[in-house]
Structure 1
């Protein structure tokens, strides 16, 4: 996860749009049922970053696929939109130097805490960079650049073009760029709303998360809302709603945009997701 979409070249959101404008149909009805008492927050706020970190703790999808390909790509690693370390932490097992880049200071803080708690004997250094993934300049190149969690959807077309240009400028001659993307073709529920429940933690207390997402193909957007209800002693003690809106882009469109930026797609790898409404594909690219 990254808050890069808040900046120019990201989601294209205007200052007049608030979190309550970005609710799925179900989330909007839930908010109305609370008669204005339910806090509605941007998923990319500091509070949203902490919720998202807890919400995804048990989600290990795509990690195995990234690690398998990363083993064949020597050199330092750049983990874009690294979030709280969903890829950064397991990548440390490779013993390489890693640069973890995210525009959310809260996510980088969480990652730093996780690294402090991790095993000290793992070799390789992790460097933190707080920057927009579509607008960064580092003083060295990488054998491997990663963009996981289908974070490419945080960017509009201009943002993606800027990202791909920056990636190409930071890849070593034989380096690889790996990114995951959603595939919507063949999904029967396009245009409908999908709902699932995830049980996670809020601190030490259990929390129910009602995850809803809605796809609007005509507008090219996907709206995601998460209602979190924290329980203590079997009773709900706190409810809050997090929401965001991201872009949709087909894998074929991504291939064309990557090639326009001088990046060739060598392979497409399916990703085991488990619970996702859409298929995920990992694209393997080079300059």
Structure 2
């Protein structure tokens, strides 16, 4: 896997815990998955800026977990650096992996604005997670923003096996995903929510998200719309994408086959049918 250091120095040679168990608005304190669905283009900056909030609850949760094991850190599906840059700012060496070169360019620009120390702590690798081949070893690996849902079920085990092979003893894999109750999705496979985008440039902006779930294919389709009202008039934007519905039991099976075990599971309700699940995993002891 080719890597690039933002500071011009050599790539990181080595880088980067106690079970697996609508109609209602979804909380936007932790908006898992959305930032991984939206490419950082001029037309989607409104959503990226909202999701790159460095004080979001999930960033704090990942930082807390990382501090218990230390770095180096591997950020898989980093996007524009929503977690990479805050981690680097807090003193971690981070290797950020994403398939989108434009997202990594924006990550580098954001890291540079954080100063020399932050910029030098970050290395980027442009590759698809399905094709990932790691060279270093890591103390903390994260699949944040429900990134595991961007992977087809058949490709998850291979990625998790690759991660486990490069996780240092005592290291942690952290990931989050949304766990849906299938009975609820079958009864009402559509949901939506609305949130205001924080802006300070005289523009009033509201974002709308719609989800459609198909249990026959285990797919989730996502529609994001934005309405901006400002001095220049009204601007409306729209983006469509999709990801996979994660079956918690299947995911736990993939973790076991990869040689990993869940050491901590934190589940918090997003609405009456959906929980946001945060897992910490470590390598299983060899028998």
Deviation (angstroms), 1:93: 4.3
Distance 1:208 1:279, change over 3 A: same
Cα deviation, residue 217, structure 1: 2.2
Segments of 5+ residues of structure 1 without an aligned counterpart are: 1-41
**2:220 alignment partner in structure 1:** 222
Deviation by residue 1:88-111 (Cα, 9 ceiling, x = unmatched):
122224422110111111211111
Residue 279, structure 1, aligned to residue 275, structure 2? yes
Partners of 1:111 and 1:215 lie apart in 2 by 31
TM-score, normalization: structure 2? 0.75
Residue 252 of structure 2 aligns to a residue whose secondary structure is helix
1:222-269 deviation digits (Å, cap 9, x = unpaired): 111011223222831x22210111101222211111101111112212
Q: How many Å apart are 1:272 and its aligned residue? A: 7.7
* CA 1:233–1:51: 2 relative to 1, 3 Å: closer
Residue 165 of structure 1: how far off its partner (Å): 2.0
How far apart are the structure 2 equivalents of 1:75 and 1:121?
16
Q: Secondary structure at the match of 2:197?
A: strand
State the distance in 1 between where 2:124 and 2:98 align: 8
CA distance in 1, matches of 2:191, 2:88: 35
The aligned runs of 1:150-161 (5 Å cut-off) are: 150-161=146-157
Structure 1 segment 49-68 matched on structure 2, within 5 A: 50-58=45-53, 60-68=56-64
Kept in 1, the 8 Å contact 2:112–2:118? The answer is: no
Alignment root-mean-square deviation, CA: 2.9
Given that 2:47 and 2:197 are in contact with CA atoms closer than 8 Å, whether structure 1 keeps it comes out as: no
Change (3 A) 1:157 1:244: same
| TM-score relative to the length of structure 1 | 0.75
> Does the aligned pair in 1 maintain the 2:72–2:138 contact within 8 Å?
yes
Native 8 Å contact 1:77 1:98 kept in 2: yes
- Equivalent position of 2:83 in the other structure: 87
Unaligned runs of 5+ in 2: 1-36
